[in-house]
Structure 1
Amino acid sequence: MSGNDNGDSILIVEDEPKIARLMADYLTDSGFHTHHLEHGDEVMPWLEAQSPTLVLLDLMLPGTDGLTLCRQIRERWPRLPVIMVTARVEEVDRLLGLELGADDYICKPFSPREVVARVKAVLRRSRTLDGYDVPSAGAALVLDEDGWRALADGHDLGLTAVEFQLLKVMMGAPGRIFSRDQLMDHMYRDHRIVSERTVDSHIKKLRKKIGDVWPEREIIRSVYGVGYKYQPEE
């Protein structure tokens, strides 16, 4: 482990030592602690024993690949931020949500300064998800914007930052139909290119989390050929 007294630790999972060292050097200079693993099979045992603030996860690894690892991390630690590193642009939709729900991605070749900027941005979004008192929600869906939480009858839905942003946008205009393009603009402010299927995947996960608390309610509705709307029950 290297770094200074920032307190935030970044696990770098990368099988190319030069790339890993470059990322570690820039992150260390920005005040982060870093740890490096080269083999995919080392990751889950290491995470069981350690508690990093964020994982930088390469897609192509010896042993367990990055896609499988991201899925396993999401199942075990839903709120641990994961940034995928990939040279395969065609995988971006899968990385961002269709299968895995990574918090962000970085495409090779990249600037190490971009890595630091993405890490800081993801941490800013994610660090407020924990540590707040749960307000009384009564029999309602409540957004705790300071804590980036959505509460259904007082139960924290455990939304990711993107899911929270989607719900916030739709709840801000009940009954309004949002196209997928409109929702993508709110999800990814940097106007990155992702497919409409990514929105569908996030909506599906959002519905499931709401449905786990309210199995009889359908408050996010599809409008065939148009998009989605938030429709609270009367």
Structure 2
Amino acid sequence: MSRLLVVEDDETIGSVLESSLVAHGHEVVWRRTGKGALAEAAASEFNLVLLDLGLPDLDGVEVCRQLRTRQPSTVLVILTARTDEMDVVIGLEAGADDYLTKPPRLGELLARIRAHLRRAGPGVPDAEPSRIGDLLVDTASRRVTVAGRELSLRAKEFDLLARLAATPGVAVSRQTLMSEVWDEHWYGPTKTLDVHVAALRRRLGEMAGFGELPAIVTLRGHGYRLEPPS
């Protein structure tokens, strides 16, 4: 049974989310404020958090940032009624793995949660690590090292790098990345992919002085390619 934290101040939406998730076999803790959510996160671990950005007491983005710090391996999905793309980008950069607009379509929400929880499970025991230059991506242990130095990545950053590293030098379409890293039923904007690619580039850039690293190349109109070091 997965433990989910729902952070939503709207009584109607929160009640529907809680009852629907419980009906689908999840253990659910529902909190209506940012302070309540942070207190729960300090007290116990959750597999996934659904976080409304429009909270009555604290800024939702700051709550997102603190939740990511306190529970780095937890899947964090933001719910937003904000239509401005920049708000979504800021939420993703604060640590969210994914986002949905409010009110969420229940079928889409449940499918997205299933996909996230499935991908957040243990690695494949017999999966061979991928080595590109001095970068080693081990999907079994979910560890990334550069010349022996460990690189700490968020869950979706790891999944994205692992997918690109599985086929170095090969172009991978945006649709394929969204399907295999996020949700096979994904539709709509894919800004979350661009934000995670940008974050992953920054993380790799921080390790540039420790060894030869591949580069994530943007293929306009198609997707991305992990280019091995020359």
Normalised by the shorter chain, which TM-score bucket?
0.7 to 0.9
Give, in angstroms, the shift of residue 43 of structure 1: 2.0
CA distance in 2, matches of 1:232, 1:52: 37
Corresponding residue for residue 24 of structure 2 = 30
User: Match for 2:175: what amino acid?
Assistant: D
Q: Which runs of 5+ in 2 are unaligned?
A: 180-185
Q: Which SS does the other structure have where 1:75 is aligned?
A: helix
The share of aligned pairs that are identical, in percent, is: 31
Residue number among 185, 192, 204 corresponding to 2:175 in the alignment? 185
What do residues 93-136 of structure 1 show as CA deviations (whole Å, max 9, x unaligned)? 41673x2342222222233343322221111112236999x979
Counterpart mapping for 1:143-154 below 5 A? 143-154=137-148
Q: Within 5 Å, which residues of 2 pair with 1:120-131?
A: 120-128=114-122
Cα separation, partners in 2 of 1:171 and 1:115, compared to 1, 3 Å? closer
Structure 2 residue 229 is the aligned partner of structure 1 residue 233 = yes
1:130-171, Cα deviation, whole Å (9 max, x unpaired): 999x9797x832333345543334555343454334434543
What's the C-alpha RMSD, in Å, of the aligned pairs?
A: 3.6
Alignment partners' CA distance in 1, 2:197 and 2:152: 14
Match of 1:82 among 72, 76, 82: 76
Residues 1:156 and 1:130: Cα distance change in structure 2 (over 3 Å): farther
CA contact (8 A) 1:59 1:86 kept: yes
1:220 corresponds, among 215, 223, 227, to: 215
Equivalence for 2:103 = 109
Please give the residue correspondences for 1:184-203 in structure 2 after superposition, counting only pairs within 5 Å: 184-189=174-179, 190-195=186-191, 198-203=192-197
The 1:155/1:40 distance shift into structure 2, 3 A limit, reads: same
The SS at the match of 2:153 is: coil
Question: For structure 1, which segment, 111-120 or 15-24, has the greater mean C-alpha deviation from structure 2 after superposition?
Answer: 111-120
The 1:200–1:25 alpha-carbon spacing in structure 2 relative to 1, beyond 3 Å, is: closer
Report if aligned partners of 1:140, 1:152 keep a CA contact under 8 Å in 2. Answer: yes
- Please, what TM-score do these two structures have when normalized by structure 1? 0.75
What residue number does 1:3 align with?
none
How far apart, in 2, do the equivalents of 1:192 and 1:96 lie? Answer: 18
Distance 1:225 1:109, change over 3 A: closer
TM-score norm. by structure 2 comes to 0.76
User: 1:65 corresponds to which residue?
Assistant: 59
Task: Tell me if the contact between 1:41 and 1:63 (Cα under 8 Å) persists in the aligned partners.
Answer: yes
Q: Is the 8 A contact 1:26 1:113 kept in 2?
A: no
Shift in Å, 1:36: 1.1
- The match for 2:4 among 3, 10, 33 is 10
Number of residue pairs the alignment of both structures matches = 221
